[in-house]
Structure 1
Amino acid sequence: MILGLIKLEVKQLFRSSNLAKNILVNIFAGFSMLFVLFWLFLIGRALPSVIQSLTGSDDVFYVVNTYLAHFFLMEILLRYFFQKVPGANISPFIHLPVPKSLLTFWLLLKSLISPMSLLVLAVFLPFARQAVIPFYGSTAGFLWLGTLLAISFTLHWLVILLKLKTEKGFRGFLLFLAVIALVLGMDHFGYLAVLTRLHPFFEFAASSVIPFVVLLLVMLFFFLLVFRSFKLHTHLEDDVKKVGYNFYNYAPGILSRFGFLGDIAILEWRLILRHKRSRNLLFTGLIFLTYGMIFYTNPQYFNEDGSISTVLILPAIFITGTLAMQFGQLFISWNSSHFDFFMNKPDGISSLIRGKYLLYMLAVSFMLILSLPYAYFGWQILYLHLAAFLYNVGVNLNIIVWLALWQPKPINLNAGGTWNMEGMGCAQFLLAVPVLGVPLIIVAILSFFFSQVVAFIVIGGIGLIGLILFPYFSGLAVKKVIENRYNISSTFRKES
Structure 2
Amino acid sequence: MIRLFFNLEWKQFSRASYFQKGIAIKILLFLAAIYFGGAAIMLGVGLFFIAKKIKPDLDPIILVNNFLIYWFLFDIVIRFFLQQLPVMNIKPLMTIPIKRNTVIHYLLGKTALSFFNCIALFIFLPFSIVLLVQGYAVVNVFCWFLSIIILTFCVNFINFLINKNNTFFYSIAGVLFVFLGLETYGFFKISEPIGKAFNMLYQQPYLVIIPLLFLFLLYKKNYSDIRKGFYLDGAISKKADRVKSLDLNWVNRFGSVAVFLKNDIRLILRNARPKQVLLMSGLFLFYGLFFYTQSAYKNMPAFLAFASMFVTGGFLMTFGQLVPSWDSEYYKLLMSQNIPYSKYLESKWYLMVVAVFVSFILSIPYLYFGWDIFGMIAAGALFNIGLNSFITLFGGALNRVPIELNVKAKAFSNTNGFNPTQMLIALPKLVLPMLLFYVPYKIINFQAGLIVLALSGVLGIVFRNFFLSKIEGVYQKGKYKTIAAFAEKK
Q: How does 1:215-254 map to 2 (within 5 A)?
A: 215-242=211-238, 250-253=245-248, 254=250
Answer yes or no: is the 8 Å Cα contact 1:51–1:57 preserved in 2: no
> What is the DSSP-based 3-state SS (H/G/I as helix, E as strand, rest coil) of the residue aligned with 1:202?
helix
State the 1:320 CA deviation: 1.9
Answer yes or no: is the 8 Å Cα contact 1:44–1:127 preserved in 2: yes
Compared CA separation, residues 363 and 145, structure 1 to 2 (3 A): same
Deviations 1:211-251 (A, max 9, x none): 211221111111111111111111222332349999x9742
State the 1:123 CA deviation: 1.4
Compared CA separation, residues 212 and 456, structure 1 to 2 (3 A): same
Equivalent position of 1:49 in the other structure: 49
Equivalent position of 1:184 in the other structure: 180
Q: How does 1:79-478 map to 2 (within 5 A)?
A: 79-132=79-132, 135-166=135-166, 173-188=169-184, 192-242=188-238, 250-253=245-248, 254-258=250-254, 261-272=257-268, 281-299=277-295, 302=298, 309=301, 312-347=304-339, 349-405=341-397, 407-413=398-404, 422-425=418-421, 429-433=424-428, 435-447=429-441, 451-471=445-465, 473-478=467-472
Answer yes or no: is the 8 Å Cα contact 2:305–2:434 preserved in 1: yes
State the 1:356 CA deviation: 1.2
Q: Distance in 1 between matches of 2:155 and 2:259?
A: 41
Answer yes or no: is the 8 Å Cα contact 2:315–2:356 preserved in 1: yes
Compared CA separation, residues 66 and 255, structure 1 to 2 (3 A): same
Compared CA separation, residues 280 and 111, structure 1 to 2 (3 A): farther
Q: Which runs of 5+ in 2 are unaligned?
A: none
> What is the DSSP-based 3-state SS (H/G/I as helix, E as strand, rest coil) of the residue aligned with 1:374?
helix
Equivalent position of 2:475 in the other structure: 481
Q: Which runs of 5+ in 1 are unaligned?
A: none
> What is the DSSP-based 3-state SS (H/G/I as helix, E as strand, rest coil) of the residue aligned with 2:85?
coil
> What is the DSSP-based 3-state SS (H/G/I as helix, E as strand, rest coil) of the residue aligned with 1:112?
helix
Answer yes or no: is the 8 Å Cα contact 2:301–2:438 preserved in 1: no
Q: Distance in 2 between matches of 1:62 and 1:139?
A: 17
| Aligned residue pairs, count | 484
> What is the DSSP-based 3-state SS (H/G/I as helix, E as strand, rest coil) of the residue aligned with 2:401?
coil
Compared CA separation, residues 224 and 398, structure 1 to 2 (3 A): same
Answer yes or no: is the 8 Å Cα contact 2:73–2:173 preserved in 1: no
State the 1:56 CA deviation: 1.4
Answer yes or no: is the 8 Å Cα contact 1:334–1:410 preserved in 2: no
State the 1:34 CA deviation: 2.7
Q: Distance in 2 between matches of 1:457 and 1:323?
A: 24
Q: Distance in 2 between matches of 1:451 and 1:153?
A: 53
> What is the DSSP-based 3-state SS (H/G/I as helix, E as strand, rest coil) of the residue aligned with 2:230?
coil
State the 1:208 CA deviation: 3.2
Equivalent position of 1:69 in the other structure: 69
Answer yes or no: is the 8 Å Cα contact 1:61–1:132 preserved in 2: no
Answer yes or no: is the 8 Å Cα contact 1:330–1:424 preserved in 2: no
Q: Distance in 2 between matches of 1:335 and 1:483?
A: 18
Amino acid at match of 1:386: A
Q: Distance in 1 between matches of 2:285 and 2:134?
A: 45
Equivalent position of 1:29 in the other structure: 29
Amino acid at match of 1:176: I
Taking structure 2 as the reference length, what is the TM-score of the superposition?
A: 0.85
Amino acid at match of 1:9: E
Identity of aligned residues (%): 24
Answer yes or no: is the 8 Å Cα contact 1:72–1:152 preserved in 2: yes
State the 1:420 CA deviation: 5.4
Deviations 1:453-488 (A, max 9, x none): 455345434433533554554355445534653454
> What is the DSSP-based 3-state SS (H/G/I as helix, E as strand, rest coil) of the residue aligned with 1:164?
coil
Q: Distance in 2 between matches of 1:107 and 1:63?
A: 37
Compared CA separation, residues 85 and 267, structure 1 to 2 (3 A): farther
Q: Distance in 1 between matches of 2:77 and 2:155?
A: 10
State the 1:418 CA deviation: 12
Compared CA separation, residues 237 and 378, structure 1 to 2 (3 A): same
CA RMSD of aligned residues (A): 3.5
Instruction: Between 199-208 and 41-50, report the one with greater CA deviation.
Output: 199-208
Compared CA separation, residues 290 and 16, structure 1 to 2 (3 A): same
Deviations 1:360-409 (A, max 9, x none): 1122123223332222111122222222212221233123323433x442
Equivalent position of 1:12 in the other structure: 12
Q: Distance in 1 between matches of 2:62 and 2:488?
A: 58
Deviations 1:140-165 (A, max 9, x none): 22111111122222222122111211
Compared CA separation, residues 208 and 338, structure 1 to 2 (3 A): same
Amino acid at match of 2:458: L
Deviations 1:324-381 (A, max 9, x none): 1343334323333322111222216344222211211122123223332222111122
Compared CA separation, residues 440 and 192, structure 1 to 2 (3 A): closer
Compared CA separation, residues 190 and 446, structure 1 to 2 (3 A): closer
Amino acid at match of 2:324: I
Answer yes or no: is the 8 Å Cα contact 1:320–1:368 preserved in 2: yes
> What is the DSSP-based 3-state SS (H/G/I as helix, E as strand, rest coil) of the residue aligned with 1:481?
helix
Compared CA separation, residues 402 and 444, structure 1 to 2 (3 A): same
Amino acid at match of 2:401: P
Compared CA separation, residues 455 and 67, structure 1 to 2 (3 A): closer
Amino acid at match of 1:296: Y
Amino acid at match of 2:53: S
